[in-house]
Structure 1
Amino acid sequence: MTGGPEPLDAVARAALERELADLRTERETVAVTLREGGGDQPGDRADQADELQRVTELQRLDARIAEIDGRLREGAVAGPPSTDEVGVGSSVTVRFADGTETSVQIGVVAEVLDATMVTADSPLGRALLGRRTGDTVTYDTPGGRTTAVVVSLGDGGGKGDPS
C-alpha cells in the first residue's frame, strides 16, 4: 500500500459497514450486561472475573469499531482508485503464462462469494500493487512461482470477468 489514504471499493465498503453494524450491536449487548451487573453488593471473585472479561471484550469491540470507522473515513477521503497504476480498488486484467486471462479487483476485504476479489495482502495482490499496464509480475503460489502480465487496468467500478 502507498502509505496515504487508500481507496475503498464498493464491495469492501459494504462488508465493513455490515461488520460495523454487527460490532455495534454486540457492543451494546455487552455494555448492557455491565450496567445491569454488580450493583452495591460486593461480588465474589468469579463475579469480578466475569466483569473484567466483559470490560476486556468491550475494549476489543471499541478498538475494532474505531479501526473500521477510520478505514471507512480514509476510503471516502482517498477518492476513486487510480487508473494509472494498480492500487486498492483497481480492476485488473492479467494474462498468465498459459495464455489465460482473468480480471480481478484489488480489495482489502475478500468476499467469500466473489471469485474476482483479490486482497491487497495476498501474493497476487502484493505483486500487482503499483504496477502498470504491460508490467510483468511474479509471485509465489502453492504450486510454485507464477508469472502474469498486466493486460489492462480499470477503476474498479465493475466486476471483472473471471474466465
Structure 2
Amino acid sequence: MGRYRPPRRRGSPYITPEGEQALRSELHQLWKVERPQVTNAVHEAAKNGDRSENGDYIYGKRRLREIDSRVRFLNKRLDELEVVDRAPADTNKVFFGARVELETEDGDRVKWRIVGPDEFDVSQGKLSMDSPMARALIGKRLDDQISVQSPAGEQFYIITAIEYDGV
C-alpha cells in the first residue's frame, strides 16, 4: 500500500475576517513560537550522539516536517483567499456569512453560520459553504423549505431567520 493520496478538491476561496485572523494566528504560532522551540529541542537531542536511536531527535524532526508542511499550506492558502467582510446587497437571501436559523420537521430549531471551508466547525455552529446543507441554503429566502440528503435519509427544514454581521 503506497503513500499516494489523490489531491483534495480545492475549497471555495472565501473566508470571514475572523477566519482569516485565526489562520494568521496559527501561522504566527507555528512559525514564530513552536518551530523555534522544536528546532532547539532537535539541536539539543542531536548533541546526545547516536541519532538513530534517539527518540527526541526522531520525533522532533518529524514534528518539524509537520510544522513546515502546515506553514507552506497556510502561506499558499492565505494568498489565494478572499476575505468577505460585508453583507450582500440583498440581506433577505442566504449567502456567505449568513447566520441562519432553521426549523426541523419535529419543531426543533438549529442555527448555522455559513463560512469558508477553512474555518468550519460544526460544534460551534459554523457550516462550510461547500457542505450539502449550505449549498441547499444559499440563495433561499425566509420561510423557504429546503431538503438535504443525509445518511439518515432526506431531511426537510424551514428557514425561520437570516442575519448578517453589521446589519
Shared fold per TM-score greater than 0.5: yes
Distance 2:43 2:51 in 1: 18
Task: Give the alignment's TM-score, normalised by structure 1.
Answer: 0.61
Q: What code does the residue aligned with 1:27 have?
A: R
Q: Report the equivalent of 1:106.
A: 114
Distance 1:81 1:103 in 2: 20
Distance 1:66 1:151 in 2: 41
CA 1:2/1:154 → structure 2, altered by over 3 Å: closer, same or farther? farther
Q: How does 1:10-159 map to 2 (within 5 A)?
A: 10=18, 12-13=19-20, 15-24=22-31, 25-39=33-47, 43=50, 45-47=52-54, 50-75=56-81, 77-80=82-85, 83=88, 86-98=94-106, 102-107=110-115, 108-110=119-121, 112=123, 114=124, 117-120=125-128, 124-128=133-137, 130-133=138-141, 135-140=144-149, 144-157=153-166
Distance 1:79 1:146 in 2: 30
Task: Give the alignment's TM-score, normalised by structure 2.
Answer: 0.60
**Structure 1 residues not aligned, in runs of 5+:** 159-163
Contact kept, 8 Å, 1:133 with 1:152, in 2: the verdict is no
Aligned residues with identical type, % of pairs:
23
CA 1:155/1:7 → structure 2, altered by over 3 Å: closer, same or farther? farther
Contact kept, 8 Å, 1:90 with 1:106, in 2: the verdict is yes
Aligned residues: 150
Distance 1:18 1:111 in 2: 21
SS at match of 2:85: coil
Higher relative contact order (CA 8 A, sep 6+): 1
**Structure 2 residues not aligned, in runs of 5+:** 1-8
How many Å apart are 1:50 and its aligned residue? 4.6
Distance 2:28 2:51 in 1: 34
CA 1:43/1:56 → structure 2, altered by over 3 Å: closer, same or farther? same
Q: What code does the residue aligned with 1:32 have?
A: N
